[in-house]
Amino acid sequence: MSELIEKIGICVERGKVNKASPFPPDMKGLDGADEYTKLAIEAKTSADAILQACNDGMQRVGEKFGKNLVFVPELLMAAKAMHAVMAHLKPFFQSGTVKTKGTFILGTVAGDLHDIGKNLVSMVIEGNGWKVIDLGVDVKAPRFIQKISENPGCVVGLSALLTTTIANMANTIKEIKTTSPTTKVIVGGAPLTAGSAQEMGADGYARDPQAAVALLNSIGVS
C-alpha cells in the first residue's frame, strides 16, 4: 500500500497523468496518477494518505521550480496529474471524509483583462488541495465581497498585470478589509513587489504560482 502511495507522489511530482500520457518520456507506457489512485482506493488506502502524497509531490516539484530545475510547463503537468487524483477523491470530499485545505477566491481586478497568469495560479493552487473559486477577469470589489460572505474563512487572491490597475487592486483590498477585516488577501502580478503589496494593505505577495501555494499554506484558514 505504501508503495502505491509513493508512486502517486512520484507521478504528481513528475506530471505523469495516466498511462496514455507520453510525458515524462522516461515514464512513457507506465501507469500514472490516475491508475495508481484507482488501485490505492481499491486497496482501501485512506483518502487522506493519498492527498498527502499529492501534496508532497507538488511540494517537491515546487521546490524544483524555485531552483529553476523545472519550469511552468512541468508545474502545470504536475497540477494536471494532481487533478487526475482529485477526480478519484471527489466522493471523499463530498462525503466529508477528507477536507480541502480551504477556499481560495481568485480574480483579476477591475479594469484588467489578463487571465493567463491567474489561470496558472488557479491550477497550481487547486492542485495543492485548495478549493478554488475563480471569478475571472475585470472583477469589481462588490463581487469579491459577495463571494467572501458566501465562503467564510476563505482567502482571497487578486491579480493585476497593468500599473494602471494597481490602484483598483488597492481599492479592492480596502473595500474587502472594510467589510471583512479578518479575510486574508494575497496579491500577485508583474508590476507588483512585496513592498507595494504591503503598502496597499495586502497580507502577502506571491511572485509565482508556487510562492502563492507556500503563502496560502502558511496563512492557512481561520
Partner 1 sequence: MKFNFPITELESDTFLIQPDSSVIDLSIDEIAEESGYERGMIPDYFRDIIAESIAQCRSISRPVCGYRILSVNKEHSSPESIAIGDIRFNCQKIVKARLNNADQVAIFSCTIGSEMETYASRCFEEGDAVKGHFADVIASAAVEFLTDLLHNHIAESILTQQLNVTNRFSPGYCGWPVSEQKTLFSFFPNDFCGIKVTDSSLMLPKKSTSGIIGIGSSVKREPYTCNRCSQKECTYRMYRASRSGGR
Reading phi first (left if > 0) and then psi (alpha if -120 to 50, else beta), residue 201 is in left
Task: Name the DSSP letter for residue 181.
Answer: T
Out of 6, 56, 63, 115, the only residue in the binding site for partner 1 (CB under 8 A) is 115
Considering the complex, state which of residue 94 and residue 116 has its C-beta at the smaller distance from partner 1: 116
Considering the complex, state which of residue 23 and residue 93 has its C-beta at the smaller distance from partner 1: 23
Contact 177, 92 (CB under 8 A): no
Contact 42, 28 (CB under 8 A): no
* Residues in 144-183 at the binding interface with partner 1, rule: CB under 8 A: 162-165, 168
Pick the piece of the chain touching partner 1 (CB under 8 A) from 16-24, 45-53, 54-62, 93-101: 16-24
* Residues in 29-88 at the binding interface with partner 1, rule: CB under 8 A: 68, 71-73, 76-77, 79-80, 83
The C-alpha cell of 122 is what? Answer: 488557479
Mutual orientation of helices 209-219 and 72-95 as an angle, nearest 10°?
A: 40
Considering the complex, state which of residue 5 and residue 170 has its C-beta at the smaller distance from partner 1: 170
**Of residues 48, 138, 43, the one with CA closest to residue 85:** 48
Considering the complex, state which of residue 133 and residue 219 has its C-beta at the smaller distance from partner 1: 133
CA 155 remoteness from chain centre: 12
CB of 19 to partner 1, least distance (A): 15
Q: From CA 94, how far away is CA 113, in angstroms rounded?
A: 33
14 binds partner 1 (CB under 8 A): no
Contact 58, 12 (CB under 8 A): yes
Out of 120, 133, 219, 221, the only residue in the binding site for partner 1 (CB under 8 A) is 120
Pick the piece of the chain touching partner 1 (CB under 8 A) from 4-12, 20-28, 91-99, 211-219: 20-28
> For binding to partner 1 (CB under 8 A), which residues are involved?
22-25, 68, 71-73, 76-77, 79-80, 83, 111-116, 119-120, 123, 162-165, 168, 190
